[in-house]
Amino acid sequence: GQNIDQPTEMTATEGAIVQINCTYQTSGFNGLFWYQQHAGEAPTFLSYNVLDGLEEKGRFSSFLSRSKGYSYLLLKELQMKDSASYLCAGMDSNYQLIWGAGTKLIIKP
């Protein structure tokens, strides 16, 4: 079956670095997406990886290893506004997104 696993909740300190992991099993693979969702709001796109390696975008970076079925989202210089849920989604051979349940990130001062 198809499955996306990510931790339910993580806590980090303002100014620190946090890594949110995601493992995926999809029928075929057409890339891995990360979205951010603040409480009560719409998910917003953060990153898309389809090749192995690290993609950096300001304070946020996303990594993919296709051989391991693994991705992570790295957030640097954490700010209070980064408190949100982070959703990992894999795209299968039919170009459908398979979504994880999301990781709630709590930032403490």
Instruction: Give the residue with the Cβ less far from another protein, 94 or 109.
Output: 94
What is the spatial distance between Cα 52 and Cα 18, in angstroms, rounded to a whole number?
A: 20
Among 33, 34, 63, 86, the residue binding another protein under the rule CB under 8 A is: 33
What is the spatial distance between Cα 106 and Cα 94, in angstroms, rounded to a whole number?
A: 34
Among 1, 39, 42, 58, the residue binding another protein under the rule CB under 8 A is: 42
Count of residues for the chain?
109
35 burial (CB, 10 Å; 0-12 / 13-18 / 19+) is buried
Instruction: Give the residue with the Cβ less far from another protein, 78 or 89.
Output: 89
- CA distances in angstroms from 81 to 12, 32, 96, listed in the order given: 12, 24, 30
**Residue 1 near another protein by CB under 8 A:** no
**Residue 69 near another protein by CB under 8 A:** no
Q: Which residues bind another protein (CB under 8 A)?
A: 4, 8, 30-31, 33, 40-45, 48, 50, 87, 89, 91, 95-102
